[in-house]
Structure 1
Amino acid sequence: MADEGFADIELQDSKLLLWFPLPYRVLFLVIAGVWAWGLNLQYLYSLRIDVAALIKYSRHGPEVPMHTSVYKVASILSIILFANLVIFWQCTGMDVDSVKRWQMLPGLLLVIMIVVLVLPFNILHKNGRYRFLKNFRRIAFGYIDREQRFSDLLLADVLTSYAKVLGDIWICSCMFITGMSSTSAPERQCGGTFMLPIIIALPYAIRLRQCLIEYSRASGKPDSERKPHLYNALKYSSAFPVILFSALQNTTEVGSTGITGEAALYRFWLLAVLVNSFFSFYWDVARDWDLSFFSSTRSNPEHPYGLRQNMIFPVPSVYYSAIFLDCLLRLTWSLKLSPHLDRYGDLEGGIFILQFLEIFRRWVWIFFRVETEWTRTETRIGGEIMLAEFPPYKSDSD
């Protein structure tokens, strides 16, 4: 455990820790994800993409757009968070001892949010809340439903973006259970050196298992349909070395040499970061978004360079911007998977920003992933008739 006096100094020196302790940052990022999903749904709805049909969500009663329901839940959660945070500020006055003493307030907030989620009454869009809980329970064990495949994969992929947030939830819980204040400076070694890395790795283990299940289900199909599931499993596996080498650096003495020394472990970790980042980036662009950027057909005159023929978003520059952003933020997120960076207290603000940026990256990713699934579905169902709905690409020279 970190020295209590040192933790107090760290808390005193960091305005972020005083104004916005770790439990509040975790809950803020969760609510931000709800708002982001609502924005996804609203814009896709404006493009006439039926997300409800893609995720096999059966609505009951009046046909209210899904984003309206999501916004209502997000608004209620945001109001509760803001009210609780204001009370916390009033009670603590930004005093170190008071901040540590009033940890019950974010704890109460968490309980209220859980109650809102599991509320059994037919209010606050019970069907949607319970559908989410059912899907989450299923993917938490690495399962994948045949009928709701896309929904399960989408949720599990989002969970990987919240891997570090899950780690922070563990830190808050561990500090509370072991008698430390969850609103004090985060003790990221709580529970031992390897407990936090294990928590961070869980979402990737879930997606790995899903990929292997899909590979097994594809038995008897051509290799072109079956092998991509193995490659996808390999992609998620590439996150484990990043997490492992980072955790090992926490146990290594400064200046140590040899294959397990400080310099060697750093090089292994850096190599793992690069492999994971660019493997994930390639998969996003080539497989999840079906773009030809890495394909020999990227110069096909029937579509903009590196993209594809059937595009729903209005201009090619949107796709190019998404590719650039995904590449940049994939690299920073791989760095963020590294628990050893958390030992530097002055990085707390940077850690929070990187977590928020990863949620932003996932928000952008969802637009193109859903659009891609929609074009695939339209192609499978309607053939040439449905494809006629896509506007043909016209180059500037046409």
Structure 2
Amino acid sequence: MILPQTNNLKSNVGMGGHSFAAVTWYSFFCTPDRISLFNKPVTFARWRLAPMDGDPAVDPGLDSFSLVFPLPYRVGFIATLAVWGWGLNLHCLYLFNVDVPQLIRYPGRASPQHIPHHGSTYRLAIALSALFALSVSLFWVCTWGIPERVVAFGWMPLTYLTALIATFVVPLRNLPSGGRRRFLATLRRVSVGGLAEPQDGKFGDILLADVLTSYAKVFGDLFITLCMFFSAEGSSTQRPDRNCGGTVLVPFIMGVPSLIRFRQCLIEYFRVRRAPYKESTGWGGQHLANALKYSTAFPVLITSAWQRSAEDPDSKAALHKAWLVAVLINSLYSFYWDVAKDWDMTLFSPKQDRESPTHPFGLRDRLVFRYPNLYYLVIGMDLMLRCTWSMKLNGRLDRFSDLEGGIFLIEFLEVFRRWVWIFFRVETEWLRNNSSGLGVDDILLGDYQGKDNEDD
């Protein structure tokens, strides 16, 4: 094993030269001999603790953001953030007496002494956060922002992502397993566009599938990470190659979540058509309109992919205009659906409903969160975050949105928008089931006990 030079460690790592254990630890994890996982050996003649910018042999063209926060860690960070977000959703709604487990048909607790559902979710989030912090800290210690070392240690974040997935899949004694089993079962059903019956947790399937649409770019990043790592002479921590795998595969992966919801809407439509006619459900036209909404995501992805691969300036300009039309339709249609259908607001209703004296302007009669200004703020934020693409209309912001830091910020903002959306979507479903009768084609069962009720 090649040991780093002690004097370099002394000045840059702060070991002081007197700690043999520290040198041994650093040598074990942070020398070329350790870079051999996944059959991807990397060797250097000698480690240097100074950047080699401009050397074409070692400078991978990494931007400063990717040096500190490589693509695989961004994927893991957002995945961990999703667990924290779901815990906060459960906790806040619980404080407002909204029973989310009841809505998604998840078993209730056997007794008040058992840890609440949000508590179990927080425990999992803490474990995932510790795993992320440990891995990224070790990565920083081993690479020190030096481009060639960042590329060489591309195996490390892949190991972390493997451990992250294993945390969900492998039963661990100290972590609740019931919720993870339920999540994986729901994910398996949803991943092929399946949809449970109302009494079996249909709302949970819809909620998860909608959330997946906001993680479409994250799924694309995950594929790019794996594609770069397993390509010849590639590394998961080099500058992200967003054309890895060709111009079709990444847009297709990003379109899968919308395709899932599209199929679910068609399933709901055919269920309505097969059932006896009821005035409350109508003929199913709303489900077709919802399917149309998700289908508007496909032209956005297609025109964007064609635009990147086009070489002729005239073709690029025409495709850019087509993309603008497609993304405008998708954003405004989705915003309308968020407000009018998912949240049951009257903002887009006829004037007599919108200005009814029984509720604040544009809202509805019953508000769980009580403060009308909060709803107005969320509606405005939803519109703004639905239109982050408009940055491309400004020269300076367009350049920022193409940087890795800008791409990550846009992904984060979409995840944040969806997190806020969940509060009001669940609130709406709760009011539908607990106001004037049952919600549309939903049966309220109440709490029931199951084998998972004590461990999650």
Common fold: TM-score over 0.5 = yes
2:293 equivalent in structure 1: 235
Q: Percent identity?
A: 49
Contact 2:60 2:238 in 1 (8 A): no
Aligned length: 370
> What's the offset of the Cα at 1:41?
0.8
Partner Cα distance (2:109, 2:173) in 1: 12
2:424 equivalent in structure 1: 368
* Residues 1:160 and 2:223 are matched in the alignment: no
* Residues 1:313 and 2:369 are matched in the alignment: yes
After superposition, the CA RMSD in angstroms is: 2.3
1:386 equivalent in structure 2: none
1:208 equivalent in structure 2: 262
> What's the offset of the Cα at 1:164?
0.3
Does the residue aligned with 2:141 lie in a helix, a strand or coil? Answer: helix
* 1:34-72 Cα deviation digits (max 9, x unpaired): 111111111100001100100111145544221111111
Supply the AA of the counterpart residue of 2:75: V
> What's the offset of the Cα at 1:344?
8.6
1:389 equivalent in structure 2: none
Partner Cα distance (2:56, 2:91) in 1: 49
TM-score of the superposed pair, with normalisation by structure 1: 0.88
Contact 1:273 1:335 in 2 (8 A): no
Larger Rg: 2
1:207-356 correspondence to structure 2 within 5 Å:
207-219=261-273, 220-221=276-277, 222=279, 224=282, 226-256=284-314, 261-296=315-350, 297-332=353-388, 347-356=403-412
Report the CA distance shift for 1:239/1:264 in structure 2 as closer, same or farther (over 3 A).
same
* Residues 1:34 and 2:72 are matched in the alignment: no
Partner Cα distance (1:174, 1:320) in 2: 43
Partner Cα distance (2:390, 2:270) in 1: 29
* Residues 1:64 and 2:64 are matched in the alignment: no
Partner Cα distance (1:323, 1:7) in 2: 49
Partner Cα distance (1:30, 1:362) in 2: 13
Partner Cα distance (1:121, 1:344) in 2: 42
Contact 2:247 2:309 in 1 (8 A): yes
Partner Cα distance (2:323, 2:132) in 1: 37
Contact 2:58 2:147 in 1 (8 A): no
Partner Cα distance (1:381, 1:5) in 2: 69
Report the CA distance shift for 1:94/1:151 in structure 2 as closer, same or farther (over 3 A).
same
Partner Cα distance (1:150, 1:5) in 2: 54
Moved more, 108-117 or 304-313: 108-117
Partner Cα distance (1:129, 1:91) in 2: 33
Partner Cα distance (1:136, 1:345) in 2: 31
Moved more, 113-122 or 311-320: 113-122
1:91 equivalent in structure 2: 142
Partner Cα distance (2:110, 2:127) in 1: 22
Partner Cα distance (1:289, 1:140) in 2: 25
Moved more, 247-256 or 290-299: 247-256
Partner Cα distance (1:9, 1:178) in 2: 15
Contact 2:345 2:362 in 1 (8 A): yes
Unaligned 5+ segments in structure 1 are: 384-398
1:36-185 correspondence to structure 2 within 5 Å:
36-59=85-108, 61-62=110-111, 63-146=114-197, 147-179=200-232, 180-185=234-239
Contact 2:75 2:218 in 1 (8 A): yes
Supply the AA of the counterpart residue of 1:21: P
> What's the offset of the Cα at 1:122?
4.9
Does the residue aligned with 2:369 lie in a helix, a strand or coil? Answer: coil
Supply the AA of the counterpart residue of 2:371: V
Partner Cα distance (1:213, 1:329) in 2: 29
Contact 1:342 1:348 in 2 (8 A): no
Partner Cα distance (1:355, 1:44) in 2: 25
Report the CA distance shift for 1:7/1:292 in structure 2 as closer, same or farther (over 3 A).
farther
Moved more, 177-186 or 208-217: 177-186
TM-score of the superposed pair, with normalisation by structure 2: 0.77
Supply the AA of the counterpart residue of 2:187: F
Report the CA distance shift for 1:148/1:102 in structure 2 as closer, same or farther (over 3 A).
same
| Residue among 243, 251, 258 paired with 1:189 | 243
* 1:328-352 Cα deviation digits (max 9, x unpaired): 111126989xxxx999995110110
Unaligned 5+ segments in structure 2 are: 1-54, 440-456
Supply the AA of the counterpart residue of 2:189: R
Report the CA distance shift for 1:189/1:6 in structure 2 as closer, same or farther (over 3 A).
farther
Supply the AA of the counterpart residue of 1:270: L
Partner Cα distance (2:221, 2:431) in 1: 37
Contact 1:201 1:243 in 2 (8 A): yes
